Amino acid sequence: MPAAAGDPFCASVREWIAAIPPGKVATYGQIAHLAGKPWGARQVAWILHSQSGKYRLPWQRVIGAKGRISLRPGKGFFEQRRLLREEGIAVEQGGRVDLKIFRWLPAGAAPRP
């Protein structure tokens, strides 16, 4: 069952997503790890989908573990790619981002194993 909006994990996910700076990306799994549930990537996706508008989260900065936009080609995919490119992130036509260059690594946070 997905986390409720008032759930501590949910609040932590929102805080971490809001902290991703322009020009950087994080993966769903990375956010889950930072928020305290290393295996909660699907919950992060649900939280992002259901709450990004209400909390004005930079949803475009969260991508899949392999460095790809997770949305299927269509309106959302093209919108995410456009927004990332506007922030200076190089996104291939197929939606791939080089995580070695553009992954956000917050200061003091342990890298995800």
Q: Is residue 88 in a domain?
A: yes
Range of the domain at 24: 8-102
Residue 107: inside a domain: no
Residues 37-44 have a mean pLDDT of 96
Q: Decide if 112 is inside a domain.
A: no
What's residue 1's pLDDT?
Answer: 45
Tell whether pTM > 0.75.
yes
CATH of residue 47: 1.10.10.10
Residue 110 domain flag? no
Categorize the per-residue pLDDT at 7 as very low, low, confident or very high, splitting at 50, 70 and 90. Answer: confident
Look at residue 111 and tell me if it is in a domain: no
Residue 16: inside a domain: yes
* Alpha-carbon gap, residue 44 to 31, rounded angstroms: 7
Q: Is residue 31 assigned to a domain? A: yes
Range 20-40 burial, b when 16+ CB lie within 10 A, else e: beeebbbbbbbbbbbbebeeb
Query: In angstroms, rounded to a whole number, what is the distance separating the alpha carbons of residues 32 and 96?
Result: 21
pLDDT digits (tens, 9 = 90+) for 50-101: 999 999 999 999 999 999 999 998 999 999 999 999 999 999 989 999 999 9
Return the residue matching tokens 């990004």: 52
Share the mean pLDDT of the chain: 92
The domain total for the chain is 1
Q: Please state the rounded mean pLDDT for residues 30-38.
A: 96
Q: Degrees (nearest 5) of the Cα angle 18, 14, 72? A: 85
